[in-house]
Chain A
Amino acid sequence: MAGFLVRRALWFVLTLWAVVTLAFFLMRAAPGGPFSGERRAAASVEAALRERYHLDWPLWKQYLAYVGPLELGSRGWIDGDGSDPFGGVLAGDLGPSLKYRDFSVGEVLAQSLPVSLELGALALVFAVVAGVGAGLCCALRPGSKLDLALHWGSTLGVALPGFVLASVLILVFVFLLPIFPVAGWGRPSQAILPAIALGAPVAASIARLVRAGMFEALGQDYVRTAIAKGMPVRIVVLRHALRQGILPVISYLGPASAGILTGSLVIEKIFFIPGTGQHFVNSALNRDYTLAMGVTILYTALVFFLNTLVDICYTLLDPRIPLEEA
C-alpha cells in the first residue's frame, strides 16, 4: 500500500509537470493576450501591466518564473526582486489572476471550488443511488414493465445532454409546479435541481452498467452455489451478485466524477451557481493565463486523486487484483 502510494505520488508529479508545461505553452500559442480586450487601456498602462506580470520577458523565463521556486526569483537569478507576484507553482503559489487583479488564482479557486465540490458530491450521490437502484430493479425483474421503463429512461438519460434536462427540470419544477427556486446557491433547496441535472446522465450510465453487470453475475456458478446454500434473496443479490456486478461501476466512477466536476460549468451557468466551472471557460476566453493554468492544475489533481481512489476501492472489492499492479 505504501509503495503503491509513493509510486502514485511520483507519477502525479510527473503528470502534473507535463500538464503544466503543455498547458503553459499552448495558452501562450493562442492569439491575443490578457490585456488585448476590446476596450484597451492606454499603451503606457498596458506596458506597465505587461512588465508587472513579466509578459515582456522571453517565454522560457516566464515559464521558469511561473514554475520555479520563490528563492530563485528573489535572489535575482531570473531578475526577481522579492516583490514578484509569482511565487512559483513548486512553492504552491498559482500566481495572480490577470483578470481579477485584486485576487490571486489561489483565492479565486478557494472561493469557487467548495461550491463545485459540494454540487459535484451531491450529483454523484444522486447518480450512484439512483443508478444502482434502477439497475438492480432492472436486473431482478428482467423483461418486466419496470425493467423496460427504466431501461428506456436510462437510454434517454445517456443521450440527453444535462442542459436540456436542466431546462426541462426548471420548466416543470419551477414554473409549472413551483417547488424549487429557479437559481442561486446557498440554500439546500437550491442544490436539488442542479444536482439532479448534473447527476442524471451519470445515473443513467450507472444503471446500464449495473443492469448488465448483475445479469452476468446472476448467471454465475457462485450465485447458484449461494442459492443452493439456502441464502435468502437479499443476501444472494446484495452480497453475492452485486459484489461482482458493481465492479464496472467502480471503474466508471473515476472518469464519471471527473466528468461531473468539469461538466458542471454548463449546469452552473444555467442555475447561476458561483462554482469553478465558469472560470474553466472564462479564463481561457479572457486569456487569463494564470487562472487557466490554475484551473487546469486543479482538475488534473482532482482527476488523479479520484482515479487513485477508484483503484484502491477496486482492489478492496476484488482481492485477486494486487494493488501494486493497479
Chain B
Amino acid sequence: MKVLEVRNLRVRFDTERGPVQAVDEFSLDLAQGETVALVGESGSGKSVASLALLGLVPDPPGVIETGEVLLGGENLLAASPERLRRVRGREIAMVFQDPRSALHPLLPLGLQLSEVLEVHEGLSRREARVRAAQALGEVGLSDPEARLDSYPHELSGGMRQRAMIAMALICKPKVLIADEPTTALDATVQVQILDLLRTLQRQYGTAILLVSHDLGVVARIADRVQVMYAGRVVEVALAEELFDRPLHPYTRGLLASVPRLRGPASRRLESIGGAPPDPLNPSPGCAFAPRCGFVQEACRKQRPPLSGVPRAVSDVLLVGGRRSACFERERLDLATPGTAADRSAGGPGVEEARDSGRSRP
C-alpha cells in the first residue's frame, strides 16, 4: 500500500551568486513498511528533497517551485501551514543526523518526547510522560522512567539517537524520514541503531525514507534505492539489484569506492575522478558527463532521461520499474563485473554488510 508519493519535485535555492537548482524532477514512491534509500554525495540534493517533503527547507533561500507530495492523496505542498504542522511528527516524522545538536540541550528528555503527544494527541503531561517512558523503553534505554528527567548531555551518542528515534516514532507515524541517522555514530553503534530501526519498522509498519551517503548502511536496511546526482535521480533499483548491476556510471563509481573486506588488502580505494558540477552553471547534458568514463558526444549535449530498463529483475517488483538515466547503460552493463564469479573473487564490502544484515532474524 502506497503511503507517500512524490511527483516531480523541484527545489531552488536563491543564493547570492544566482539561483541553484537543488532538486529537479524528483519523484518517489513509498509503500507501507518498506525502506527506500536516497543515496548520493554531499550536495546531491538528497537531504533537501527529504526536508522539502515536510516543508522544512529554509525559506529564504529555498523555494519549492513545483511538485506534489501526496500523503494519502492529500498534497502536502498545497496544504495550509496549520495542516502541515499537524502532519509533522504525527504522520511523517524525522530523525536527524546528529542527535547532539538535534535534541534540545536545555530541556529534559521526557518533556521533549511528551510534548509531541501533548500537541498531537492532546494527552495531559502526566499521561504523556507514561507513554514517553514506554517509548524510551522500546528503543532499548534502561530505566526509562529515570531517563525522562535526564538531559541529552547525560546520554551517550547512541542513547541520544535512540531517544531521537523514540521521539520520532512516539505517534506511530506512517512515514519516518531518517536523514543520515547513523553518520554521527561509532561503527558498532551504527549497526545497533539500524537494527533498531528495522525492528521498530516491522512492529509499526512504518515506511522509512533513508537519506544516506553510506552504501554499507543502505545495503543493511534498504529495500529500494534511488541514487541522486546533482539534484536529480539518476538510478532507481531494488537494493540487491543496484549492488549487483549498477546501470549508471555514477552508481558504479560509488560502489567501486566502497572498501572491501575480502580481496587483496593492498588494493587502493577507487575514487570518482573530478568534482561535482558547479550548481550555478548547470550543463545542458548529463551532469555526470565530465567525470564519466563512458561519456559520448551526445551526453554533453542532451540530458539522458530517467527511463525504464528492459529485462530487469525488478520490473515486476518495482513501482515504475527499474530506471536509470544514462545513454550508454547497455555498454556499461556489459562492462560491469556483476557475475557470481567476480563476486567470489572479492565482492564489495557492501555485500558483506548486506549479507550479515539480512541473515539476522
Query: Once the chains bind, are A230 and B90 in contact (CB under 8 Å)?
Result: yes
Q: A224-B56, A319-B106 are in contact. Are A229 and B167 (CB under 8 A)?
A: yes
A-facing residues in B90-139 (Cβ within 8 Å): 90, 93-94, 96, 98, 101-107, 115-116, 119-120
Given A229, A243, A318, which contacts B93 in the complex, CB threshold below 8 Å? A229
Query: Once the chains bind, are A232 and B119 in contact (CB under 8 Å)?
Result: yes
Q: Which residues of B contact A244 (CB under 8 A)?
A: 105-106
* Bound-complex Cα distance A240 to B101 (A): 13
Query: Once the chains bind, are A225 and B119 in contact (CB under 8 Å)?
Result: no
User: Shortest beta-carbon distance, A224 to chain B, in Å?
Assistant: 6
Q: Mark A40-68, 1 if CB is under 8 A from B, else 0.
A: 00000000000000000000000000000
Given A225, A226, A231, A318, which contacts B106 in the complex, CB threshold below 8 Å? A318
Chain B residue with Cβ nearest A233: B85
Q: A230-B88, A232-B119, A235-B115 are in contact. Are A225 and B104 (CB under 8 A)?
A: yes
Query: Once the chains bind, are B86 and A220 in contact (CB under 8 Å)?
Result: no
Q: Answer whether residue B153 sits at the interface, using C-beta atoms and an 8 A cutoff.
A: yes
Number of inter-chain CB pairs below 8 Å: 73
Using C-beta atoms within 8 Å of the partner chain, give the interface range for chain B. 20 to 34
User: Shortest beta-carbon distance, B114 to chain A, in Å?
Assistant: 11
Q: A225-B103, A228-B93 are in contact. Are A319 and B85 (CB under 8 A)?
A: no
Q: Which residues of A contact B287 (CB under 8 A)?
A: none
* Bound-complex Cα distance A318 to B106 (A): 6
Q: Mark A243-261, 1 if CB is under 8 A from B, else 0.
A: 1100000000000000000
Q: Answer whether residue A39 sits at the interface, using C-beta atoms and an 8 A cutoff.
A: no
Q: A221-B98, A224-B56, A225-B96 are in contact. Are A231 and B115 (CB under 8 A)?
A: yes
Q: A239-B107, A317-B106 are in contact. Are A231 and B101 (CB under 8 A)?
A: no
Q: Mark A207-243, 1 if CB is under 8 A from B, else 0.
A: 0000000000000111011111111100100011001
User: Shortest beta-carbon distance, A237 to chain B, in Å?
Assistant: 13
* Bound-complex Cα distance A230 to B89 (A): 5
* Bound-complex Cα distance A227 to B94 (A): 10
* Bound-complex Cα distance A220 to B58 (A): 12
Q: A221-B98, A225-B96, A227-B56 are in contact. Are A232 and B104 (CB under 8 A)?
A: no
* Bound-complex Cα distance A227 to B115 (A): 12
Chain B residue with Cβ nearest A222: B104
Chain B residue with Cβ nearest A247: B106
* Bound-complex Cα distance A47 to B130 (A): 80
Q: Which residues of B contact A232 (CB under 8 A)?
A: 85, 119
User: Shortest beta-carbon distance, B261 to chain A, in Å?
Assistant: 34
Output the residue of A230, A240, A320 with the most chain B CB within 10 A: A230
Q: Which residues of A contact B191 (CB under 8 A)?
A: none
A-facing residues in B251-285 (Cβ within 8 Å): none
Show 18 residue pairs from A and B whose CB-CB distance is below 8 angstroms, ordered by the A residue. Answer: A221-B96, A221-B101, A224-B96, A224-B102, A228-B54, A228-B94, A228-B96, A229-B88, A229-B116, A229-B119, A229-B167, A230-B85, A230-B86, A230-B90, A230-B120, A231-B115, A232-B85, A244-B106
Q: Lowest 7 CB-CB distances: which A-B pairs, in order? A: A230-B89, A230-B88, A229-B89, A221-B101, A222-B104, A228-B94, A319-B151
Q: Report A's interface with B, CB cutoff 8 A.
A: 220-222, 224-232, 235, 239-240, 243-244, 317-320
11 A-B pairs besides A229-B93, A320-B106 with CB distance below 8 A are A220-B101, A224-B102, A225-B96, A225-B103, A228-B89, A229-B116, A230-B87, A231-B85, A240-B107, A243-B104, A244-B106
